[in-house]
Amino acid sequence: MENSNIDNQQLLDRLSRNTREGVEKSVVTSPGSRAAAWAVKIKGLSSYNVYNVCAVVLGDAGSMPVEIGSQMQAVNLAESFLQAGQLSAGTYAVMFRAGEKNVFYVPV
């Protein structure tokens, strides 16, 4: 594990460049990488604090978001894991990926 951390630091040192303000770090992404968060619309309650959601594309100001793709499930971390969720269908949220789960935080 320690060797891995040393190797990672050496890689970051090679990718960095010196500027007048200090060291500037570069970030490398692979082709096909995707956003870490999505705008979603709540379609309905699945069970407890798990909701059926659909990704949306945000357009220009004054236009409604457009649903894309198929429905998926996401957990609202703002609600109890032991009681039925209270969010209304049609609510918008920002969904993130946490391990194997989709999560969002919308207080009720």
In tens, the pLDDT along 42-77 reads 999 999 999 999 999 999 999 999 999 999 999 999
The answer to the question of residue 92 being in a domain is yes
Which contiguous run of DSSP H or E holds residue 13? helix 2-15
The answer to the question of residue 31 being in a domain is no
The answer to the question of residue 86 being in a domain is yes
Radius of gyration for the chain, computed over Cα atoms and rounded to the nearest angstrom: 20
Domain count within the chain: 1
The answer to the question of residue 45 being in a domain is yes
The answer to the question of residue 65 being in a domain is yes
The answer to the question of residue 99 being in a domain is yes
Structure tokens belonging to residue 31:
């082709």
Q: What is the reported pLDDT for 84?
A: 94
**Containing domain of residue 89, as a range?**
37-104
> Is the whole-model pTM more than 0.85?
no
Task: Band the pLDDT of 36: cuts 50, 70, 90.
Answer: confident
